[in-house]
Structure 1
Amino acid sequence: MATQTQQQISVLSLSTLAFTVCFAVWVMFSIIGIPIKANLGLNETEFGLLAATPILTGSLFR
């Protein structure tokens, strides 16, 4: 059985990894967001809703 210190290190490591992956996905979405906006002909409001929907949905379901 793992000690409490080992569990804490494991949780910290996995949380850091998850944060890094989520940040990388967010950056990639912001990079590809401009071509998506141009291809779909979205105005500023529509693009804002497109970008905000996953964030708002995730925060509401917590």
Structure 2
Amino acid sequence: MDFRLNEEQQMLQDTVARLVRGEYSFEKRLAFSETDAGFSVDFWKQLSELGLTAVPFPE
């Protein structure tokens, strides 16, 4: 069985990794976890705008 990512999956992985590294570091996530929301609303808006919140669902 081949468990390697296909080209589309690799592109998705790279996009999310760059976004998280650049915008939502561990330190930022830790700080947001202390807020009332517990997360960054703006970061989740970014994920949504990129369509990443719908990735697990078929079109």
State the TM-score bracket (shorter-chain normalisation).
0.3 to 0.5
- Richer in helix (by share): 1
Task: Tell me the TM-score normalized by structure 1.
Answer: 0.37
Structure (1 or 2) with the larger CA radius of gyration:
1
| TM-score with structure 2 setting the length | 0.38
